[in-house]
């Protein structure tokens, strides 16, 4: 039987999000209906909110926790009553399939296709690929950020870059993803781990999450400071922001190779950016034989790694409670949550808590 629920909807460019009722059908064979516990408020959603070319209406959000109310007949990894994490990367797509099937919703008596995932809603109808089981013995609030911030940030360090113990790391941007890159680098015992940001408050916060050194890029030349700290540059620099002001310094901060002996360091671009980027040539490329890697969703399958991240949280290796710095207690606060994020007020991640089981 169809259910009615509330969701945040982008319905007009430049206007606040609407929080209105939508209608969801019963799950089809490969779909699940989830009642949400909590959702993260991710910076990348700002791009979708303020993108003038984005289709509308659109449902937003892409990391959350919840409980399955109904599961389709072909869904095998979860069933009604199971707790789940919701993530923006398909769980474990079969060979040859490039995306999970989208679901639909009704709003103001019209039917629309939803994005692959949405979590700024009190219920969500999703393809089964977009949920991973969550054990019953962990909190359902802070674990909401595993579905994007953790898989993206920790994954960038561990899987995209394959950082090893003793290798040097710089992280540009101490937001939800940046804090997880720091945490991932700490887990594998990278050293030094350098956090770069424009605010001392965020840099102090970065030290709590694994940074051994900090650089305020509003006070000093960040690449020069990093090279001084590391005797020539880091093995890996992560741009978690996606702006030229972070991407170019990240590339400049990695060590140069030695011609005929060794390649240079690697800049990992994690942040979502939309402007074109010009790299100084030949000073940065090809001189120094540096590598630039793109990382999207942590370069691995969530169904394989998200259970491991939950275990690391339980063991204290992933301090999710420290990464969540602000909470909102209902969906009606979504526009305030977006404003605070846009204005740079959020350290790490903010979350909306709909319900506590």
- The string of pLDDT tens digits covering residues 248-283 is 999 999 999 988 889 999 999 999 877 788 888 788
**Helix or strand holding residue 66 (H, E):** strand 64-71
SS (H, E, C) 179-238: HHHHHHHHHCCCCCEEEEECCHHHHHHHHHCCCCEEEECCCCCHHHHHHHHHCCCECEEE
Least confident stretch, 123-127, 205-209, 213-217, 271-275: 271-275
**Per-residue model confidence (pLDDT) at position 357:** 76
Q: How many CB atoms lie within 10 A of CB 335?
A: 15
**Per-residue model confidence (pLDDT) at position 73:** 97
- Residue 115 vs residue 107, higher pLDDT: 107
**Per-residue model confidence (pLDDT) at position 54:** 73
- Cα separation, 129 vs 116, whole angstroms: 9
Catalogue the long-range contacts made by 315-319 (C-beta closer than 8 Å, 24 or more residues apart). Answer: 317/183, 317/187, 318/150, 318/154, 318/180, 318/183, 318/187, 319/183, 319/208, 319/209
**Per-residue model confidence (pLDDT) at position 213:** 98
162-294 carries CATH number 3.50.50.60 = no
DSSP single-letter state for residue 281: T
Mean pLDDT across 271-300: 88
Which of 75, 70, 79 is CA-nearest to residue 35? 70
- Cα separation, 6 vs 21, whole angstroms: 4
**Per-residue model confidence (pLDDT) at position 251:** 95
CA angle 184, 185, 190 (to 5 degrees): 155
Least confident stretch, 54-58, 178-182, 262-266, 335-339: 54-58
Percent of the chain beyond pLDDT 90?
Answer: 84
- The string of pLDDT tens digits covering residues 140-183 is 999 999 999 999 999 999 999 999 999 999 999 999 999 999 99
Whether 13 shows a pLDDT value over 90: the answer reads: no
Q: What is the pTM of this model?
A: 0.94
What residues does each domain of the chain span? 3-148+300-353, 162-294
**Per-residue model confidence (pLDDT) at position 1:** 79
Average pLDDT of the chain? 94
Mean pLDDT across 89-99: 89
SS3 at position 344:
coil
β-pair type (31-41, 123-127): antiparallel
Fold annotation for 3-148+300-353: Quinone Oxidoreductase; Chain A, domain 1 (3.90.180)
Whether 51 shows a pLDDT value over 80: the answer reads: no
SS3 at position 240:
coil
Whether 200 shows a pLDDT value over 90: the answer reads: yes
**Per-residue model confidence (pLDDT) at position 223:** 97
């Amino acid at each position: 039987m169809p259910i009615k629920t509330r969701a945040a909807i982008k319905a007009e460019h430049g206007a606040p999000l609407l929080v209105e009722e939508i209608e969801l059908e019963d799950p089809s064979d490969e779909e699940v209906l989830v009642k949400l516990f909590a959702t993260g408020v991710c910076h990348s959603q700002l791009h979708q909110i303020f993108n003038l070319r984005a289709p509308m209406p659109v449902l937003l959000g892409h990391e959350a926790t919840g409980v399955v109310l109904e599961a389709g007949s072909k869904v095998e990894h979860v069933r009604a009553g199971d707790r789940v994490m919701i993530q923006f990367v398909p769980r474990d797509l079969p060979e040859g399939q490039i995306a999970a099937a989208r679901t639909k919703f009704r709003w103001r008596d019209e039917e629309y296709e939803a994005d692959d995932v949405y979590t700024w809603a009190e219920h969500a109808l999703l393809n089964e690929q977009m949920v991973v089981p969550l054990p019953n013995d962990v909190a359902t609030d802070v674990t909401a950020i595993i579905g994007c911030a953790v898989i993206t940030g920790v994954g960038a360090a561990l899987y995209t870059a394959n950082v090893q113990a003793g290798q040097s790391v710089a992280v540009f941007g101490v937001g939800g993803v940046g804090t997880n890159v720091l945490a991932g680098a700490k887990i594998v015992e990278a050293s030094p781990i350098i956090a770069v940001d424009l605010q001392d408050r965020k840099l102090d916060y970065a030290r709590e999450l694994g940074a051994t050194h900090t650089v305020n890029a509003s006070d000093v030349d960040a690449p020069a400071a990093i090279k001084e700290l590391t005797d020539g540059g880091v093995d890996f620099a992560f741009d978690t922001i996606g702006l030229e002001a972070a991407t170019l310094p990240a590339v400049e901060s990695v060590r140069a190779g030695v011609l005929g002996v060794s390649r240079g360091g690697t800049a990992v671009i994690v942040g979502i950016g939309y402007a074109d980027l010009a790299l100084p040539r030949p000073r940065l490329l090809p001189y120094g034989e540096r590598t630039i890697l793109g990382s999207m969703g942590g370069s691995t399958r969530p169904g394989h790694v998200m259970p491991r991240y939950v275990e690391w949280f339980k063991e204290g290796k992933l301090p999710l409670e420290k990464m969540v710095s602000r909470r909102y207690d209902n969906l009606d606060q979504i526009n305030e949550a977006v404003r605070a994020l846009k204005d740079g007020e959020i350290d790490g991640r903010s979350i909306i808590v709909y319900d506590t089981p």
